[in-house]
Amino acid sequence: MTQTVDQTAQETNFVGKRTRRQDAPEKLTGRTRFAGDISAPGLLHARLVLSPYAHATINNIDVSEALNVPGVVAVYTSETLEMANPDATSRSQAPLARGEACWAGHPVAIVVAETEAAAEDGVALVDVDYDPLPVVLDPVEAMRPDSPLTRLHASKEGGEIAGGGAHAAVGSGDTEEEEQEELSANVSGKTHMKLGDIEAGWREAEVVIEHTVSTRPVHQSYMESQSILVSPSPSGHQLVVWPSAQGMLGVRSDISEALNLPERQIRVESVPIGGAFGGKFGLIEPLAAAVAYKVRKPVRLSFTRQEDLLAGNPAPQAVITLKLGAKKDGTLVALQGKAIFDSGAYPGAAAGLGGYLLASTYRCPNVDLHCYEVLTNKVSVGAYRAPNAPQATFAMETTVNKLCEALEMDLLAFRKHNAFKEGDPTIDRRSWPRIGLLECIDELEKHPLWVNRAEEKHKLPTELKGWKVGIGISVGGWPGGTEPSAAACRLESDGTLSVVLGTVDLTGSDTSMALIAAEGLGVSLDQVNVVHDSTDTMPYSGGTGGSKTTYSMGPAVLSAVRDARQQILNIASNMLEAAEADLEIVEGKVAVRGVPNKSVDLKEVAKMSTRRFEPVYGRGRAGITTSSPMFAAHLVKLAVDPDTGDVKVLDYVAVQDVGRAINPAEVEGQISGGVTQGLGWALFEGYEYDENGQLLTPTLMDYALPHSFDVPQITPILVEIPSALGPFGAKGVGEPPVVPVAAAVANALHDALGVRVTTIPATPERIFNALHEANQA
Amino acid sequence: MTQTVDQTAQETNFVGKRTRRQDAPEKLTGRTRFAGDISAPGLLHARLVLSPYAHATINNIDVSEALNVPGVVAVYTSETLEMANPDATSRSQAPLARGEACWAGHPVAIVVAETEAAAEDGVALVDVDYDPLPVVLDPVEAMRPDSPLTRLHASKEGGEIAGGGAHAAVGSGDTEEEEQEELSANVSGKTHMKLGDIEAGWREAEVVIEHTVSTRPVHQSYMESQSILVSPSPSGHQLVVWPSAQGMLGVRSDISEALNLPERQIRVESVPIGGAFGGKFGLIEPLAAAVAYKVRKPVRLSFTRQEDLLAGNPAPQAVITLKLGAKKDGTLVALQGKAIFDSGAYPGAAAGLGGYLLASTYRCPNVDLHCYEVLTNKVSVGAYRAPNAPQATFAMETTVNKLCEALEMDLLAFRKHNAFKEGDPTIDRRSWPRIGLLECIDELEKHPLWVNRAEEKHKLPTELKGWKVGIGISVGGWPGGTEPSAAACRLESDGTLSVVLGTVDLTGSDTSMALIAAEGLGVSLDQVNVVHDSTDTMPYSGGTGGSKTTYSMGPAVLSAVRDARQQILNIASNMLEAAEADLEIVEGKVAVRGVPNKSVDLKEVAKMSTRRFEPVYGRGRAGITTSSPMFAAHLVKLAVDPDTGDVKVLDYVAVQDVGRAINPAEVEGQISGGVTQGLGWALFEGYEYDENGQLLTPTLMDYALPHSFDVPQITPILVEIPSALGPFGAKGVGEPPVVPVAAAVANALHDALGVRVTTIPATPERIFNALHEANQA
């Protein structure tokens, strides 16, 4: 099922071996307890009052009836909760609507009660007096100077993406003096990226293609909804926080800022997390903390699935128009585009990142990209696995296919001709390091499904008789993130090694860290225990995201373990009266090389270290500030029913450059998961609204996640072009597999039907309509 | 009130400044929450069934009635609790009586219930069928070969002292081939220390004095009783423990051993502790953990004061006979002794330590000390502030006074003539380092209360007219402990420094560590925050005890902070484009020396460190394995009513070599506290039993702690003879102040009355009887 193209030769004992995730048994047996499972004596339950209007003035909020409900302890509005930054443009800092509800689902008040049921009863009795206002839903409409405003006091300040982890990694290209453009105040951010002279590009171009696509908001659909427990510490000195969040120090600083409390008065505990995918970089934590701080009791806030869809932070909707110009030989000479990212009710869609991604696959001397972040009366957005990359790649890779058609050029030949390679300039004036884009395309090109694509188009399960088969490809990438990191490790009295981390393990990274530690120390995996700390004491770690955890924390772990190893050898050298250089660690012992019986157990070393020497306590610090971009090339075979637009994905091949797979089992799991989520983008998932801004997909009955029977066999092929910086050559893995999927599927649909669906998800209805329009044309 | 004799000159900004304890506000306002205050959802309460007999066979335990009590969840006996080491000779490993109750108070069963009241009702209904056995209470009687045995299967294995922290520090002298001595199996340990030739000593001696003293068991009387909460972790994977204990990793290993669970499955949390004084090195933790492990729910066990007196682990009763021989010029030439330490029902009295202490004040070429640990049917013992030193010093310093009388020699002159000094050999064949014993005596000799002692004897408050005044002195010491230690520190994004420790703060050590850190980094004290970790992740720390915490952890903290400082300077050097050597840290900034405006905030350095450099994360390891012995010289003035034996202590001067007072306020507090506890030993505190082994002092109505009106003005005088190893020259402080008190008081009583009280506490009754006997003689 998996093929690995190993281009590295570094000999390892543990790294690179398929290893079961250490958290798997607890998770598979249902024993893991998540934030929403944690209780505390005197626990109170919080529930939100959500605005039923997509846009309305709030004249008054009467909480008196709610307070009469037995068990209701308090009801807070933005007026009474008294957060430190009520005017912040960040949803997490100012979580309750202030005078104005800006989407249907905007939290207006929060009810705290002794039971969940009492809180719900209280919610039903909070009486909010609304005056409906005009609703703006379409981001293109919202940009027009004459558009109604999405909030009475629209902000023109561009915000940062909520899940800033990924954003931090990328530059923003060339932002010159902007030409005047008349835009609505709903436009909350603009980025203009330029390279060369686009007009010269058009003059040079022999073939020009323009294509417009659009997407819908897509939810991260983590299994565990947004959840948090906040409790005053027993002494009342600290607020203790058990969040479902991707970064612990980020939660601490968010709460510190929102409550104007010193960071040391907030302790964020490490809690297992049930998925996040970018959607848990900070949303409900300051709100829950503010309530707990007010009532001085433990408070739990845990979203229902409906609340998570209505009031979470999905990926932004996008409308992207690209115009590409190429010479007859396929050389790309002009790339122009307009990318509109719908940020919903708050800034944060990171439109510039979308532009950066559009310019980060193919070499092009003349680039002109306009990116807009636009506010609408929809739920505000957050990061989602490779933020903005599925949208940008859907646009780019379908447009490229159109261009190839016009050029009558092989799809892979065009891509190989123009693909970035080491030394090419990036859009932000740096230089591409050694990347694996070409190698990924090469692998894809060699795959039987591609080689035999002509025959494959005729192979169809009998039950799909009459359906049309399409084979599609796409490439896509992710620039990668970096963050300085630290780690510690301690030799235990039983001879095992504890690796102390502050990272949140989203995807099995603890197991990778354990493999790295086992490799670095020379002990078996079961001798290594990865442990987590609260924010009071944890070694520094940023949030988990941007495909940077293994890449940036791995070196810190390796350094900590090597530090401990040196300490161990030093002590053992004393104990064995042998030179350190002659010692090796094998099978839990320090042994003198070549003297089989002269050895000492690590257990003995540990005991002596706390009696006669110094405790073995390794420390690692890593400061990688250069990312290692990663690429994938995908190949999909699908069948489509031309009568109904029904689609069945039949086969999927995902080639990805992972640098070095620390734990191939985990890497493959990431790729399968990413492709599955990509199929959601491509075919199933999307927020739909009625004209009043009411969400039509507020439950998992309406919002279509791919089911297991929608997902084909996925074959991950790992290309290993080692990173110069990542541990053992590893690059990030998490984001790329979601990136090319929608484009590959759309290209396959075109291959099957000869028509292009330009809006994803490509639902049967949209496919049917596209076919119908083509027939009418 | 305090005089400091500063013999060091190291310039410091924070170290040495009187500083308020950082834990004081929470403790003084009652906000601190201790182990017994912590709750958990579904908390169960455990209560003990204690044996009413001092010695009895247990024929049967019927728990059926107890289980019928509404709310009672379970009742366990040693049979049903199934601990891993039911035959252990350690009370904590085998906490419930097995077939035999060995003291009145021996836990026989444990009842677990939903409420404390239900548990108590259950306790009352546990039906134990006992057959009383002969009771042995007097350790001298217990040693006789014909003594009844204190347990049917008496152990001859000598155990280690429960509070091994202090024990670990001292050697055991010369233990040669033992002569045959017929002893009861109740003797659980023997140590024989020899130096030179005692017979030659007697031949050389011109004056010989023999003296016998005895003491009673004394309770540590920590304010917070033995308490613990144990809960399965939310996932059930770990047992989480909130103990009132002096060492966290020790609790972890005790529980690991008792339950036969890997250490990583036990997490001990850091909890504030309400006093310990050696009595909380491990007693009830495995029991509570075993119960929680059985019921799979959170369980709290919290002793009442009566349970703590009946079933705690007080200091051992001792009977010590010393024989000293000196030449006419006062040179000590022979020291012989027999020291019996009553270990109660389990081994652990560390008799050898008593012998070591007897030989660790005065130079003597010929030593012959026999030390015995004897089992009786009394509660088993534990460590208590300077274990065995108050008893040994009471013996030695009263005998020395008798010798001085016989020699007609000045009390201080004799002591100065014989006191150990640097380079003298220790009893365990090492060499005394630079110690401050002579300097302490010198300071005492200069004190007005001593200089004017003749006049002082006539100064008496008018209300005490007719009382006799006595002035007494004593010296005493403590060998000091060591333990390798580790610490970490992290620069926070707000520019403050978090110092991460695993130590339990008993006495304000966190504040001392903060002072050391502030000094090492060059920031003010409020920029430093000391934080604690669970055993999962804490840097290594042994138990808090033996006066070793500041001494052995301080260097680790200093090293961690200097490491962080170096990292900070490195980053700032990049930011400021200046050489590291030109930088200094002043007032929260890194500044270029001599360039006032060229500086960068630590806050900025912290932020950059997690963006462009490496996180500032300091690591310190210290492995001091040589202790710095510490000495004190005490002077007391008291008045005694010759008619009633009533005593009023009028003035107290405590001179102590502390090496370097990191926080003089804390050091003085320790000295005052130690002297106060010493006054308890001297005059008030002691377990008394009836002939059946029933404790007559099982409550604080019967067991007399000194009241505030019993304690005079205490003047601490700090002598600072710097240690070559301790941080900034610091030595331990905690143990010495309790050591000489009983002897000084006894000597003052003799000075007042001319008679010697040989048993402490010197209650009015004992004083009256001593006077009466003297009159009759």
Q: Cα–Cα–Cα angle for A116, A118, A122, nearest 5°?
A: 115
Query: Of the candidates A775, A776, A773, A749, which has an alpha carbon nearest to the alpha carbon of residue A763?
Result: A749
31-60 in A: which are within 8 Å (CB) of B?
A: 31-33, 37-41, 43
* Chain A residue at shortest CA distance from B250: A493
Mean confidence (pLDDT) of chain B: 94
pLDDT tens for residues A620-629? Answer: 999 998 999 9
Residue B9 makes CB contacts below 8 A (sequence gap 6+) with none
Cα–Cα dist B582/B599, whole Å? 11
Residue A477 has what pLDDT? 97
- Distance, C-alpha A99 to centroid of its chain: 33
Of all helices (H) and strands (E), which one includes residue B372? strand B367-375
CB-based contact, B235 to chain A, within 8 Å: yes
Min Cα distance A148 → chain B (Å) is 40
Indicate yes or no: CB of A621 within 8 angstroms of CB of B615.
yes
pLDDT for B150-171, tens place per residue?
998 644 444 333 333 323 333 3
CA distance B618 to chain A (A): 8
Q: Which residue of B has its CA nearest to A622?
A: B614
Contact between residue B275 and residue B223 where contact means Cβ atoms under 8 Å apart: yes
Owner of token pair 């931090």 = A168
Say if the Cβ atoms of B617 and A619 lie within 8 Å.
yes
Question: Cα separation of A530 and A498, whole Å?
Answer: 6
Q: Residue B484: which of A38, A237, A614 has the nearest Cβ?
A: A614
Which pLDDT does position A680 carry in this prediction? 98
Higher local confidence (pLDDT), B655 or B587: B655
Q: Residues 463-522, chain B: which have Cβ within 8 Å of A? A: 483-486, 488, 490, 492-494, 496, 498, 500
Query: B495: which 2 tokens?
Result: 């520019």
pLDDT for B229-264, tens place per residue?
999 998 888 999 999 999 999 999 999 999 999 999
Interface check for A566 against chain B (CB to CB < 8 A): the answer is: no
Structural domains in chain A, CATH included, are 433-479+628-688+697-776 (3.30.365.10), 483-622 (3.30.365.10)
CB–CB contact A613 B235 (8 Å): no
CA–chain centroid gap for B212, Å, is: 25
Contacts of A614 in chain B (CB under 8 A): 484, 486, 621-623
pLDDT, block means (10 residues), chain A with 777 residues? 51 94 91 93 97 98 98 98 91 96 98 98 98 98 96 52 31 49 93 97 98 98 97 90 97 97 96 96 97 97 98 98 98 98 96 97 98 98 98 98 98 98 95 97 98 96 96 97 96 96 95 97 96 95 93 97 98 97 94 92 96 97 94 98 97 98 97 98 98 97 96 97 96 97 98 97 97 87
Sequence-separated (6 or more) residues with CB below 8 Å from residue B562: B520, B618, B620
Backbone angles phi, psi at B164, to 5 degrees: -65, -10
Of the partner residues B249, B533, B617, the one whose CB lies closest to the CB of residue A621: B617
Verify whether the Cβ–Cβ distance B235 to A619 is below 8 Å: no
DSSP state, A658? -
Mean per-residue pLDDT, B489-496? 96
Q: Give catalytic residues of B, as residue numbers.
A: 735
The predicted pLDDT at position A521 comes to 96
Q: Which two tokens stand for residue A240?
A: 């203790």
**Contact: B540, A615; criterion CB under 8 Å:** yes
The Cα A80–Cα A23 span in angstroms is 42
Pair B638, B749: CB distance under 8 Å: yes
- A300, A537, A619, best to mutate vs chain B, most B CBs in 10 Å: A537
Q: Do A540 and B262 touch (CB under 8 A)?
A: no
Q: Does B604 touch chain A (CB under 8 A)?
A: no
| Longest CA pairwise span in chain A (Å) | 89
Among B37, B264, B613, beta carbon nearest to A623: B613
Q: Do B611 and A484 touch (CB under 8 A)?
A: yes
Nearest to A336 by CA among A550, A157, A192: A192
Task: For residue B504, give every residue at least 6 positions away whose Cβ sits within 8 Å of its Cβ, in sequence order, or none.
Answer: B245, B246, B247, B248, B270, B273, B276, B541, B543, B544
Question: Burial letters for A172-188: b for 16+ Cβ neighbours within 10 Å, e otherwise?
Answer: bbeeeeeeeeebbbbbb
Per-residue burial over B724-747, b if 16 or more Cβ lie within 10 Å, else e, is: ebbbbbbbbbbbbbbbbbbbbbbb
How much of chain A is in helix, strand and coil states, percent to nearest 5?
30, 25, 45
Please give the interface size between A and B, counted as residue pairs whose CB atoms are below 8 Å apart: 159
d(CA B726, CA B659): 8
* Distance between CA atoms of residues A146 and A307, nearest Å: 33
Instruction: Give the residue on B whose Cα is nearest the Cα of A609.
Output: B484
How much is the pLDDT for B10? 66
d(CA A607, CA B661): 31
Q: What is the pLDDT of residues B592-638, one digit of tens each?
A: 999 978 999 999 999 999 999 999 999 999 999 899 999 999 999 99
Specify the DSSP element, H or E, that contains B618. strand B617-622
* Euclidean distance between CA atoms B669 and B24, whole angstroms: 13
| Chain Cα centroid distance, residue B231 | 29
Kindly report, residue by residue over B207-230, the tens digit of the pLDDT: 999 999 999 999 999 999 999 999
Host H or E run for residue B128: strand B127-132
Nearest-5° Cα angle at A651, A647 to A653: 130
DSSP type of residue A115: S
Check residue B487 and give its pLDDT: 98
The distance of A91 to chain B (nearest Cα, Å) reads 23
Q: What token pair was written down for B306?
A: 């009566």
Q: What is residue B578's predicted lDDT score, i.e. its pLDDT?
A: 96
Q: Give the CA distances from residue B763 to residues A594, B230, B663, B745, B760, in Å, rounded to whole numbers and listed in that order.
A: 70, 41, 36, 12, 7
Amino acid in the structure at residue B57:
T
The whole-number average pLDDT for the span B645-673 is 97
Nearby residues of B96 by Cβ (< 8 Å), 6 or more positions away:
B76, B77, B78, B81, B107, B108, B109, B110, B287
* E strand spans, B395-551: 468-478, 485-491, 497-501, 528-532
Instruction: Catalogue the active-site residues of A.
Output: 735
Q: Quick one: what percent of chain B has pLDDT higher than 70?
A: 95
Among candidates B236, B253, B537 on the partner chain, residue whose Cβ is nearest the Cβ of A500 = B537
The token pair that represents A212 in the structure block: 């417009």
Decide: B361 and B121 in contact? Cβ < 8 Å.
Answer: no
State how far the Cα of B238 lies from the Cα of B732, in Å rounded to an integer: 36
Q: Say how far apart CA B578 and CA B573 lie, in whole Å.
A: 5
**Which of A28, A266, A483, A617 to mutate to test binding with chain B, by most B CBs within 10 Å of its CB?**
A617
pLDDT of residue B236: 83
The torsion angle over the Cα atoms of residues B510, B517, A493 and B384, rounded to 10 degrees, is: -30
Q: CB–CB of A571/A602 below 8 Å?
A: no
Q: What is the pLDDT of residue A10?
A: 66
What does the pLDDT read at residue A174? 44
| Tokens describing residue A97 | 């609507």
Q: Is A531 on the interface with B (CB under 8 A)?
A: yes
Burial class (CB in 10 A: 0-12, 13-18, 19+), B133: buried
| pLDDT tens per residue across span B192-203 | 999 999 999 999
CA distance A58 to A75: 16
In a 3-state reduction of DSSP, which class is residue A239?
Answer: strand
List, for residues B14-71, the tens digit of each pLDDT value.
999 999 999 999 999 999 999 999 999 999 999 999 999 999 999 999 999 999 999 9
Pick B531's closest partner by Cβ from A490, A537, A611: A537
Q: Tell me how far apart the alpha carbons of residues A595 and A592 are, in angstroms, rounded to a whole number.
A: 5
> Do B83 and B290 meet the contact criterion of CB atoms below 8 Å apart?
yes
User: How close B274 comes to chain A (CA, Å)?
Assistant: 14
Q: Which residues pair with B599 in a beta bridge?
A: B591
pLDDT value of position A306: 97
Residue B615 to residue A485, Cβ atoms within 8 A: yes
Residue of A nearest to B620 (CA): A617
Inform me whether the C-beta atom of residue A611 falls under 8 Å from chain B C-beta atoms: yes
Distance CA B56, CA B58 (A): 6
Q: What is d(CA A43, CA A27) in angstroms, rounded to the nearest whole number?
A: 25
| Residue listed under structure tokens 């070559």 | B724
CA distances from B645 to A774, B394, B752 (A): 116, 20, 11
- CB pairs under 8 A, 24+ apart, for A20-27? A20/A511, A20/A665, A21/A508, A21/A510, A21/A511, A21/A665, A21/A666, A22/A508, A22/A510, A22/A511, A22/A514, A22/A530, A23/A272, A23/A505, A23/A508, A23/A510, A23/A511, A26/A272, A26/B235, A26/B237, A27/A272
Question: What tokens were used for B357?
Answer: 């202490």
Task: Identify the three-state secondary structure at position B397.
Answer: helix
Nearest-Cα residue of chain A relative to residue B501? A537
Q: Do A621 and B614 touch (CB under 8 A)?
A: yes
| Strand order across the B3-6 sheet | B3-6, B714-720, B647-657, B630-640, B468-478
**A237/B26 touch (CB, cutoff 8 Å), yes or no:** yes
The beta-carbon neighbor of A531 closest among B500, B532, B536 is: B536
**pLDDT tens per residue across span B707-750:** 999 999 999 999 999 999 999 999 999 999 999 999 999 999 99
Closest CA to A90 of A445, A450, A467, A347: A347
Residues A656 and A374: their CA atoms lie apart, in Å, by 33
Q: Report the chain A residue with the minimal C-alpha distance to residue B264.
A: A529
Mention every residue, 6+ apart, whose C-beta is less than 8 A from residue B502.
Answer: B248, B249, B270, B486, B532, B533, B535, B538, B539, B540, B541
Distance (Å, rounded) from C-alpha A742 to C-alpha A215? 10
CB contact under 8 A, A609 and B488: no
